[in-house]
Amino acid sequence: MKKTLLALCFGLSSIISADITKLVTFQANFEQIIIDEQNKKITYKGNVITSAPSFAMWKYNNPINKTVYVSKDKVVIVEPELEQAIIKKIQSNLDFFSLLQQAKEIKKDLYVADYLQTKYFIKTEGLKIVSIVYTDEFENRVQILFHDQKVNKKVDFKQFTPAIPQEFDIIND
């Protein structure tokens, strides 16, 4: 009984003191809602897999199919409907984990991060990120809702290697 109670207390204390800066990997289904200045709304759906220090794969499947691969200094966007891949070098270190490192808890399960001249609001449930809300450089209001989250689970790094079919046009930007 004592061991069970001790294990329960330890488990609860680790949940209560959850710190999103301790995330190493994150996987989830997502819904990205973008509302422009005219209140026009578009919703994208897909899944995301990220791993520290700076790897991510955002796979969009609705309303379009595309996959965005992010590494430390490069973004590769594979667009099957256009039969093209865009490869961009990125100047700033825009990555999921750098954003989380900047986050400060302002109240239980709500963080704010000032990152690359943008303010992000991050809602959590323990270590699970529920949503990220911000205004982008075009004054669009962006909300990303996460579902079926998995945190700090082993990921296959092969997933972060862009899969570009040979017949696709490659655009170096």
Which pLDDT belongs to residue 172? 95
Which pLDDT belongs to residue 2? 31
Which pLDDT belongs to residue 74? 92
Question: What residue ranges define each of the domains in the chain, with the CATH number in brackets?
Answer: 22-172 (2.50.20.10)
pLDDT mean for each 10 residues of the chain (173 residues): 32 47 93 97 97 94 96 93 95 76 93 93 94 94 97 94 96 93
- 3-state SS of 132-166 is EEEECCCCCEEEEEEEEEEECCCCCHHHHCCCCCC
pTM of structure: 0.84
Question: Are β-strands 84-89 and 169-172 bridged in parallel, bridged antiparallel, or unpaired?
Answer: parallel
pLDDT per position as a tens digit, 66-97:
999 998 889 999 999 999 999 999 876 567 88
